[in-house]
Structure 1
Amino acid sequence: MSRRAALAAATGTALAASLLTVAGAQASSPETSAAGAVAAPDIPVENVQRHLEELQAVAEANGGNRAHGQPGYRASLDHIKEKLDAAGFETTVEEFDQAGTTGYNLIADWPGGDADDVVMAGAHLDSVRSGAGMNDNGTGSAAILEVALAVAAGDLQPAKHLRFAWWGAEELGLVGSRNHVAGLSEAERGQIGAYLNFDMIGSPNPGYFVYDDDAPLEKVFTEWFAAKGVETAPATESDGRSDHASFQEAGIPVGGLFTGAGETMTQAQADKWGGTAGEPFDKCYHTACDDMSNINSTALDLNTDALAHAVWELSS
């Protein structure tokens, strides 16, 4: 079966009037820049939402969450792995121990590209035990999955090697990503030119925060949002709180996106982004109500397209 056919079988179809028409589960056809480089396709947010609905269903069928050590986590990982395998990725499940319980990371490599120059995008797949974790971090997990499937649908042939990752036990202290980085040799760490992290990118009262840890990677995102007329702010609230910290501590350049957690939106931020001042960015942060009703589809759409743009641009 071809990669395109496998992808269509794995993900189905989605159409959106506000987005370019797509066929099967493929994203809309990429444009070509004036310089001749292939630009990222527009990623249909419906596809990302479908992945979220599937993760919600996995949680509901496995005790209501996708937490480390719980059946919902491994079922979520297996669900995503099946889609990636069908699309032509080379997948690896890494095991690690956390407090006597086995945890798992999922790594997906797209064949080809310079193995000495790796662009990596990751998100934590685990939730807390109190709920299904749709914004935290179903959104990042689903967006990366759909972008990876778009890579396969377009049979992208990047100059650099592309790698995607879904981390376990982030909620317990970045355990999965720390284990992954610790297991890399010095040479393997040196091969990773960029690690991009996506943790909570569909908050219901969203801000548009960009990691400012590496100026060139930050610029990739800030310029993209500026072209869309969206003002961004540095993601200082997320410093050290998510899996990018594991890579940053190893000297690997990091970037990423974030729409806010339990912090309260200020009036200035509400004026900037059209949100509600005095309320949290995510009122359901780490609670049972973090379900499909806790997602801002506009933020999810914008951040997923920004993610795709970064993957295409940085790997070209």
Structure 2
Amino acid sequence: MTIRRTLPGLAVGALVMSLSLALSAGPATTASAEARVPAAPAVSEQQVMPHLRALQRIADRNGGNRAHGTKGYAQSVAYVKSALDRAGFRTRLVPFTHDGAPGNNLIADWPGGDPDHVLLTGAHLDSVKEGPGINDNGSGSAAVLATALQVAESGLTPERHLRFAWWGAEEQGLIGSESYVSKLSGADRRRIDVYLNFDQAGSRNTRQWLVVHDDEHGETEAQQAFEAWFAERSIPTFDIGVGGSDHESFGNAGIPSSGFSTGISDCIHEACDNLANVDPKTETTSTDAIVGVLWKLAATAPRH
């Protein structure tokens, strides 16, 4: 996580409740679309934590990190890509160069859905050179991967086109995501209905989930959906602005954004950001939230 903004400290209990009530009464066309899609599956710890253990092993055998330009990062990309390829995704590596070293973003598309209305879900996969980056941001990467694999296992047939992404060199200044966004045509940018970002999804001692509020676009349908999901389970949240992580690149390009973080851990950007720095229960809850909201947004017919 690249930190660029101080988080506001106001609770959003009343707001969350009002959003939950508002979401319960959608238009008939939305309800009809959702009826055609099965309920979101529940995710178990056994479906997400093995990915984090795999990333830890990759770091262990490559000098203790998974940073841009290293074998640790290249093997992390290969691990995620292999899982997606086996599941039936169309994957591609999008190369870029930073600080004299080549890097790749990994993009995975699930067949089907309206290509003019893309739901893009992502996380940065790289660590810093000081450590393995298992919470920052193996946790977000693993949660997004587990979500994508749930899509495949369920054979989801979404209204919107589903795309997943894992960014490189984000720890060096949001390089990978910015490279991806800068190469999109104006038409391709407009096709992305919303970008969902997840950074540090498994922090220990998490008491509330920090839900991204899009400063430019206001409350997006995704933000409302996340806050409603957490409110239904009596899990506290509060808003954070678009800034400090990969969604900043999309916000700067005028693409609506949301997502969440579980907060900055004590071991951020240090060798102690290892597997022991992730709480499996928090990681599983985060993955469940992503799956639940993605299922809802995927089933929602675009309004524009």
The TM-score with structure 1 as length reference comes to 0.81
Following the alignment from structure 1 to structure 2, what is the Cα–Cα distance between the partners of residues 34 and 104?
A: 35
Aligned to 1:163: 163
SS of corresponding position for 1:51: helix
Residue of structure 2 equivalent to 1:302: 285
Q: How many Å separate the matches in 2 of 1:193 and 1:183? A: 17
Please report how far the alpha carbon of residue 55 of structure 1 lies from its aligned counterpart in structure 2 after TM superposition.
0.5
- Residues paired across the two proteins, number: 263
Deviates more, 1:51-60 or 1:40-49: 40-49
**What is the aligned partner in structure 1 of residue 30 from structure 2?**
none
Tell me which of 256, 259, 273 is aligned to 1:256: 259
State the match for 2:237 in structure 1.
232
**Paired position in structure 2 for 1:292:** 275
Query: RCO greater where, 1 or 2, for CA within 8 Å and sep 6 or more?
Result: 2
Q: Distance in 1 between matches of 2:297 and 2:209?
A: 21
Note the residue ranges of structure 2 that are not aligned, 5 or more in a row. 1-32, 300-304
Provide the rounded CA distance (Å) in 1 between the counterparts of 2:58 and 2:291.
Answer: 26
TM-superposed deviation, 1:260: 0.8
Cα distance in 2 between the residues matched to 1:34 and 1:123: 26
Unaligned runs of 5+ in 1: 1-32, 262-281
Deviation at 1:40, TM superposition (A): 1.1
8 Å Cα contact 1:59-1:66 kept in structure 2: yes
* Matches for 1:197-276 after TM superposition, within 5 Å: 197-206=197-206, 207-213=208-214, 214-215=218-219, 216-236=221-241, 239-261=242-264
Supply the RMSD in Å over aligned alpha carbons.
1.5
TM-score w.r.t. length of structure 2: 0.84
**Counterparts of 2:133 and 2:253 in 1: how far apart (Å)?**
28
Q: CA deviation at 1:35?
A: 4.3
In the TM superposition, 1:1-316 aligns within 5 A as 35=35, 37-206=37-206, 207-213=208-214, 214-215=218-219, 216-236=221-241, 239-261=242-264, 282-316=265-299
C-alpha displacement of 1:34:
8.9
CA contact (8 A) 2:198 2:260 kept: yes
Distance 1:42 1:72 in 2: 31
Partner of 2:24: none
* 1:96-120 C-alpha deviation (Å, 9 max, x unpaired): 0101111110000001110000001
**Deviation per CA, 1:209-238, whole angstroms, max 9, x where unpaired?**
1011141221100000010111111124xx
Aligned-partner Cα distance in 2 for 1:137–1:125: 6
* Contact 2:213 2:258 survives alignment (8 Å): yes
Q: How far 1:91 sits from its partner (Å)? A: 0.3
8 Å CA contact 2:96, 2:179 repeated in 1:
yes
Percent identity between matched residues is: 48
